[in-house]
Amino acid sequence: MEISREGEGSERQLLYKALAAEYDLAETSYTFGAHSFSFLSVRDSYALLDRISPEEFVKDEQMPYWAEIWPSAITLSSFIADELPVEGLHVIEIGAGVGMASVVAAWKGARVLVTDYSLEALRFVRYNALRNKVLLESERLDWRLVQCREQFDLLFAADVLYERVNLLPIVTAIDKLLKPDGVAYLADPRRRLAEQFLELAAENNFSITPFQRKYSGGKQAVSVNIYKMTRQSTAQS
């Protein structure tokens, strides 16, 4: 079923109204690939901590990291826009948050599936897709138990290496979700945990190529590494 531009505008307005009733929102403009984008996020993600009950935290230790746009996501989005050919490729983003990198990939012509564990995050993803006039699909995904049977040409993730307990599940998820010759790109602000992740990835037959970048759009510059992961048997230069 196709939705008209008027229908898309109406849906976006209704969705914004619903989100504004629940969150203190921030809408920020960014330029990637000489194109202007606008992304909706939560103004203060830490304000959401009070919404997490002790029972929910014990269940899965879910924190509202999805609600904020992090330097790694901005850096990865710039990398996709300026340096990565994605047109016509089947792409998945894990831990997508508000979906910045996925929106940029869709704008460049990729066929994109956006995933996050938080259903609230996917509402922001939907808004940002409508706001930037791109087509993409979204669904909930738990990287600890990947049930998606599709495999993808490219996988993106930004700032997901923040809990030691998640490192091996993320490696396993990438292995399940990538085609045999697929490539993953993970952006990380040079956390120490990233070194442990890279060791696990190597143990699981991945080769790593790092790209060093720096995000200078905030109060202070943030060094970000983008790790290109390929299977060793089909490693690319």
Pick the closest to residue 224 from 152, 161, 153 (CA basis). Answer: 161
Could you tell me what percentage of the chain is helix, strand and coil, using 3-state DSSP and rounding each to the nearest 5?
40, 30, 30
168-189 tens-digit pLDDT: 999 999 999 999 999 999 999 9
Q: Please give the pLDDT value at position 9.
A: 79
pLDDT digits (tens, 9 = 90+) for 67-110: 899 999 999 999 999 999 999 999 999 999 999 999 999 999 99
Q: Mind listing the pLDDT tens digit for each residue in 1-53?
A: 333 455 567 999 999 999 999 999 999 999 999 999 999 999 876 556 565 55
Domains (range + CATH), the chain = 5-234 (3.40.50.150)
pLDDT at 62 over 90: no
Integer angstrom CA distances of residue 1 from 8, 92, 107, 151: 12, 23, 21, 25
pTM over 0.75: yes
The whole-number pLDDT of residue 149 equals: 87
pLDDT grade for 63, boundaries at 50, 70 and 90: low
The span from the CA of 162 to the CA of 216, in Å, is 21
Record the tokens describing residue 170, joined without a space. Answer: 């993320």
User: Percent of the chain beyond pLDDT 70?
Assistant: 86
Q: Which of 183, 227, 212 is nearest to 92 (CA)?
A: 183
Strands (E), the chain: 25-32, 35-42, 90-93, 111-116, 137-140, 152-158, 178-188, 206-215, 222-231
